[in-house]
Amino acid sequence: MQSAVLDWYAANARDLAFRRTSDPWSVLVSEVIAQQTQASRAAAAWERLIAEFPTPAELAAASPAAAIRAWRGLGYNRRAIALRAAAIAIVDEHGGVVPHEYEALTRLPGIGPYTARAVLAIAFDQPVAALDTNIRRVLGRAFLGGEGALPPRRLQATADGFVPPARAATWTHALMDVGAAFCRKRDPRCVACPLATHCRYLAAGRPTAASKPVPARTKSFPATTRWLRGRILDRLRDAPGRTWVDFDVAIGEHSAASVADHVARLAAEGLLEVHHRHPRRARLARS
């Protein structure tokens, strides 16, 4: 089964920029970006961010405003602040070098178990399994017969044992691509999958593969909080230098009062600062 996955990947791997390096900082940045971003968009953003902040020291020395500006277009902007905090910790506690121990990585701000294991596997080629949703589904279905076949701790230990010696990085990328191309949550492409002749899930008749209707959106995207937060930060990104920007009118479908409320919330999260005398006037955070 390892050979089937690795042989398919050797011929069909997605050409993503961040896969061309094993530099630990570059890998860590790519994993933080990819957490909630489509792979192709993540690759383009990663190239831009690494060009601006090629080492932890560069990002640690930058202002929050610079980090937020660089994060434009990726959404969930708190990730930019967390990544900068991680860079500061790497500089202050690890001499500017990304640690290669699981416990040390998970102590970094914003770095959870999955990201830590992905860095260990991809950057340091340690035999650990990085179990994101797609990889968990591939391993659960093909190797174990179905999703949820094992409780989380046993699944992690079992998945660690599946990692081919000295091929952890390639194995991680290969499983990601198999999950994206074939082992999808709904309507998996089982017949074309490189694991088809080995898959216990397929052999059992794909017991949970039926397509399910996707719930209709109750709100258009411009009516959501996420859209509004993005527009507020984009206005601040577009403002030259340290210019204050007034937020005293409606934005899209959101009233002026709602805009002011979200400006205050973003300030509480450390993404921006408000004028001490004019609470509807803001600029990107500087410290």
Which residues are part of the catalytic machinery?
31
Tokens found for residue 115? 């990201």
Find the Cα–Cα–Cα–Cα dihedral 252, 38, 107, 169, rounded to 10°.
-170
Taking CA atoms, 240 is separated from 228, 263, 283, in Å, by: 21, 19, 10
Nearest C-alpha neighbor of 35 from the set 129, 116, 137, 154: 116
Residues 128, 117 contacting (CB under 8 angstroms): yes
Find the Cα–Cα–Cα–Cα dihedral 93, 95, 99, 104, rounded to 10°.
-10
Neighbours of 94 (CB within 10 A): 16
Nearest C-alpha neighbor of 262 from the set 277, 244, 247, 284: 247
The dihedral region occupied by 94, where left means phi > 0, alpha psi between -120 and 50, and beta the remainder, is: alpha
Residues 123, 23 contacting (CB under 8 angstroms): yes
Q: Dihedral sign for Cα 236, 239, 240, 246, please.
A: negative
Taking CA atoms, 39 is separated from 14, 16, 32, 42, 243, in Å, by: 10, 8, 12, 5, 34
Residue 251, SS3 per DSSP = strand
DSSP designation for 254 = B
